[in-house]
Chains A and B, each alone.
Chain A
Amino acid sequence: MIEETLTLKNRLGLHVRAAAKLVQTASAFESRVTLNAEGSEADGKSILGLLQLLAGKGTPILVRVEGSDEGAALDAIRTLIDRRFDEAD
C-alpha cells in the first residue's frame, strides 16, 4: 500500500467533469484507490463518491493505492491532478 497527499490546483476542484476524469484514470488500474479529504473518504472509482467529498480548489487530498499496479496508478493520478485535469486553469 502506498499513499501520498496531493493538492487540487484547478479552479473548480473535484467538479463533475474532473471527477469523471479521475474515475476514468483510476479505473484503468486493478489497484484499489481511496481518496481522503478533510476526514471524508471516497472510492476513487466512484464518481458520486468523489463528488460527495465536496473538495474545492486547494484541498489537500490523501490518495491511498493498494494492489499489484499501485505505483503506476498513483503516478497516473498525480499527473492528472498536477495537470489540473487539463482545464483552463
Chain B
Amino acid sequence: MKRSLSLKGLPVSPGVAVGQAVLWMSREDSSPRRTLERDEVEREIERLRRAALDAVAEIEATAEEVRLRLGPEYASIFMAHAMFLKDRAFLAPIEKRIASDRVNAEWAVTATTDALTARFRQLAHEELAQRAADIDDVARVLKKHLGDDAGAAERLAQLDGDSIVLIADELTPSDAVRIPRDRVVAFATERGGRTSHAAILARSFGLPAVVAVPRLLASIRDGDRVIVDGRDGVVWREPSDDVLILFRERVETEARRERSLKELSIHGITRTADGEEVAVRANIELASEVKDVVEYGADGVGLFRSEFLYLSTGDVEFPSEEEQAKIYRDVLTRLAPRPVVIRTYDLGGKKGARQLIGDEANPVLGLRGVRLCFKRPEMFRTQLMALLSAAEAGDLRILVPMVGSVEEMRRVRALLDEVRDELRDRGQTVPDNVPLGAMIEVPSAAVTADLIAPEVDFLALGTNDLIQYTLAVDRANETVSELFRPQHPAILRLIRMVIEAARSAGKPLSVCGEMAADPLLFILLMGMGIREFSMGPRTVPMMKEVARGVALADATRVAKAALSLSTADEVADLLAQELDAIWGSARRREVPA
C-alpha cells in the first residue's frame, strides 16, 4: 500500500469529503497518429467538419446554460470558443494537414493547434499564454467530438462508485461547468486561486475544494483514496485508518449538523431567549448563491460583493449596465421582500484588479474601494445606473466600501442623485428613497461615525479590514498573524463608538465581517447592541441557533464585562468561560415555570 501523505494548498470552498481520485489533465495527449489510405482523406475531412459543427452546437448550449445559471459575464468566453470552430482560418490548416500528410483528423488537430499555441507561448507573455489556453480548450472540445475521448470525461463516466475526488492541473471554465455534481464530492487542483472560475463555482456548488497544491499531480494516481479538506486546505493521499476514521466522523457530523440546522433555521423571525429580534443575513459573491440564501433561511443578503461580477471575468471586463441590471433585478426579485444590500465594487488592495490599477508599492493603503470608483467615474456611474434601474424589483440597499470621510459619502450621494435624474429623463421609474449606506472599515470612518451617520441611511461594520487597519496587522502574513485579534480592546472600543453613533442618529447598523460568524464574538456583538448580522450562507443556521439560545440580558452583561478588560486574551478567556453559563441559563429559561 502507498505511503500516507498530506499536501497543503489554498482552501477555497469549505467542507470535507473522502473519495477515489480521478486525474483530469487539461492537456490529454491521446490521439495516436494514423496514416490514411488515399481514398479515406475526403471522408476524414468530412468527419472533421461534422465534429466542428457538433462542437459549436455543444459550446453554444453550454454558453446558454451558463448565461442562465451564472449570468452573462461567464458566457462570453464560450461564445469566443464557438467562433474559432466556425472560423475557416482555424479549420482550413487542419484540413490541409489531413490531406497533405494523410493523417487522421485527431492527429491533425493536435499537430496544428500545438504549432499555433507554441507560437503564443514562445512570446512568454501572460496574456498571450491565455490565448494559447483558449485554443487548447477549443482543440479539446473538437477532439472530443471526433470521438477521441479516451480522456478524463470518459474515465469519469466509467468509474464505479459515486465518491469521486477530481484531481486536476487546473480547471478551465468549460471543465468546471461539466463537473458531474451527482458523483464528484470534491476537487483539488495544482494551479488556480481564490478568484479562479473553478473556485467560484465550487463555492456556488457547495463542493469542498483546495487549489494551488504544489506537486499534486506528481503525488496522486487514479484510484488513490483521497481526502479533501476545504476548511484547512489539506489534501490527504491514502490516509491512515486513524485519519480516515476521524475525517469520516467529521463528514458525518457536518452533514448531520447541516441537516438539523437547516431545519431549525427555516422558521420565521429569530428571537433571543428573552424575545429580542435579531436579523441574520447572508454574504454572497454570485447571483447563483441566491438559492443558498433561501435554503439556509437567511433574512436576506447583508453583503453582495458585486466586484465578483468583474473578477469572475478574469479581471478583464466590466458587465454592461444592462447585464448588471438584469443580475441585480433577478437577485432582488427572487429574494423579495427580504432586503438585499449590494456593495458597490470593492476592487484594489489585495483583491484582483492589479491589471486595472497597475503596480502599487502598498496596495492595501492605495487605490481601493470607493477611491477607485472616483478614479474610474464611468465604471462607477454604470454600476449606479444599473443599481437604480433594478431598484424597483425589491428591497435594494446600496453600500459603499472603504469610506474614510464624510466628503466621500456626499460625493457618492450627489452622483446617485445625478444618475437618478438621468434615468428619469430616459423615462424610467426610479424609487425616491433607495437607502445608501457607508461601510465602516477604516479607523478614520469608525472614529468619525457620529459625523457620517447623519449623512447616510445605514452603516455596516466591515470587521476584517477594520481589524487589519486598526491593529496594523496583515492576517495573511504568518509572522504577525497571531496579532490579528478581534478581541483587542482597541477594536471593541471602536465598535462601541460606531454603535453609539448609529444609535444616536437613529440609523441601522449591521456587522458583516468574519466576527459575525464566530459564536462567541456573535454573542459579544449582540451584547454590545448589534441586531443585524451577515455571514456566509452556510453559517446562517448555526448563528440563528446561537441567537435563540442566548438571553440578551446575559449577552449585555458579558459585553459590559468584556469592555472593562485590558487585553485580548482576557476578553477571549471571559467569553469562553461565560459561554457555558449563558447557554445553561437560556436553556433553563425555555422551560415554562
A-B contact pairs, 6 of them (CB 8 A): A11-B355, A15-B127, A20-B76, A47-B80, A86-B320, A88-B316
**Interface residues as binary, A10-42 with B (CB distance below 8 Å gives 1, 0 otherwise):** 011101110110011000000000000000000
The answer, among B77, B310, B356, B376, for a CB contact under 8 Å with A16, is B77
State in angstroms the CA–CA spacing of A20 and B90 once bound together: 14
**Interface residues as binary, B121-153 with A (CB distance below 8 Å gives 1, 0 otherwise):** 001000110110010000000000000000000
State in angstroms the CA–CA spacing of A48 and B83 once bound together: 9
Q: Is the CB of B89 within 8 A of A88?
A: no
Interface on B for A, CB 8 Å cutoff? 76-77, 79-80, 83-84, 87-90, 116, 119-120, 123, 127-128, 130-131, 134, 310, 316-318, 320, 355-356, 376, 379
Q: Is there a chain B Cβ closer than 8 Å to A49's Cβ?
A: yes
Cβ < 8 Å to B, chain A residues 34-89: 43, 46-49, 51-52, 54, 56, 85-89
Known contacts A48-B84, A48-B87; A16 and B320 CB within 8 A of each other: no
- Select from chain B the residue with minimum beta-carbon distance to A23: B83
- Select from chain A the residue with minimum beta-carbon distance to B353: A88
Q: Is the CB of A54 within 8 A of B128?
A: yes
Instruction: Taking A11-B355, A23-B83 as given, write out 7 further A-B residue pairs in contact, using a Cβ cutoff of 8 Å, ordered by the A residue number.
Output: A15-B130, A15-B316, A16-B77, A17-B80, A43-B89, A54-B123, A87-B318
Most chain B beta carbons < 10 A, residue from A43, A46, A51: A51
The smallest beta-carbon distance between B133 and chain A, in angstroms, is 9
Interface on A for B, CB 8 Å cutoff? 11-13, 15-17, 19-20, 23-24, 43, 46-49, 51-52, 54, 56, 85-89
Q: Is the CB of B127 within 8 A of A46?
A: no
Q: Is the CB of B89 within 8 A of A46?
A: yes
Q: Is the CB of A46 within 8 A of B88?
A: yes
State in angstroms the CA–CA spacing of A16 and B116 once bound together: 14
With a cutoff of 8 Å between Cβ atoms, the chain A residues found around residue B376 in the complex are 88-89
State in angstroms the CA–CA spacing of A31 and B105 once bound together: 33
Q: Is the CB of B89 within 8 A of A48?
A: yes
State in angstroms the CA–CA spacing of A19 and B84 once bound together: 11
Known contacts A16-B77, A20-B76, A20-B83; A88 and B127 CB within 8 A of each other: no
The smallest beta-carbon distance between A28 and chain B, in angstroms, is 13
Q: Is the CB of A12 within 8 A of B316?
A: yes
Q: Is the CB of A17 within 8 A of B77?
A: yes
- Select from chain B the residue with minimum beta-carbon distance to A20: B80
With a cutoff of 8 Å between Cβ atoms, the chain B residues found around residue A12 in the complex are 127, 316, 355
Q: Is the CB of B123 within 8 A of A17?
A: no
With a cutoff of 8 Å between Cβ atoms, the chain A residues found around residue B131 in the complex are 15-16, 51
The answer, among B76, B84, B356, for a CB contact under 8 Å with A89, is B356
State in angstroms the CA–CA spacing of A76 and B250 once bound together: 59
Q: Is the CB of A17 within 8 A of B317?
A: yes
Q: Is the CB of B134 within 8 A of A20?
A: no
State in angstroms the CA–CA spacing of A88 and B376 once bound together: 9
With a cutoff of 8 Å between Cβ atoms, the chain B residues found around residue A51 in the complex are 120, 131
With a cutoff of 8 Å between Cβ atoms, the chain A residues found around residue B79 in the complex are 20
State in angstroms the CA–CA spacing of A13 and B355 once bound together: 13
Q: Is the CB of B356 within 8 A of A88?
A: yes
Known contacts A16-B130, A20-B80, A54-B123; A48 and B90 CB within 8 A of each other: yes
The smallest beta-carbon distance between B31 and chain A, in angstroms, is 20
The answer, among B88, B316, B355, for a CB contact under 8 Å with A17, is B316
With a cutoff of 8 Å between Cβ atoms, the chain A residues found around residue B134 in the complex are 16
State in angstroms the CA–CA spacing of A87 and B320 once bound together: 9
With a cutoff of 8 Å between Cβ atoms, the chain A residues found around residue B356 in the complex are 11, 88-89
State in angstroms the CA–CA spacing of A54 and B120 once bound together: 9
With a cutoff of 8 Å between Cβ atoms, the chain B residues found around residue A13 in the complex are 127
With a cutoff of 8 Å between Cβ atoms, the chain B residues found around residue A47 in the complex are 80, 83-84, 87, 89-90
With a cutoff of 8 Å between Cβ atoms, the chain A residues found around residue B320 in the complex are 86
- Select from chain A the residue with minimum beta-carbon distance to B80: A20
Q: Is the CB of B317 within 8 A of A87?
A: yes
State in angstroms the CA–CA spacing of A85 and B80 once bound together: 14
State in angstroms the CA–CA spacing of A32 and B83 once bound together: 18
The smallest beta-carbon distance between A22 and chain B, in angstroms, is 10
Q: Is the CB of B379 within 8 A of A88?
A: yes
Q: Is the CB of A88 within 8 A of B317?
A: yes
The answer, among B84, B88, B318, for a CB contact under 8 Å with A88, is B318
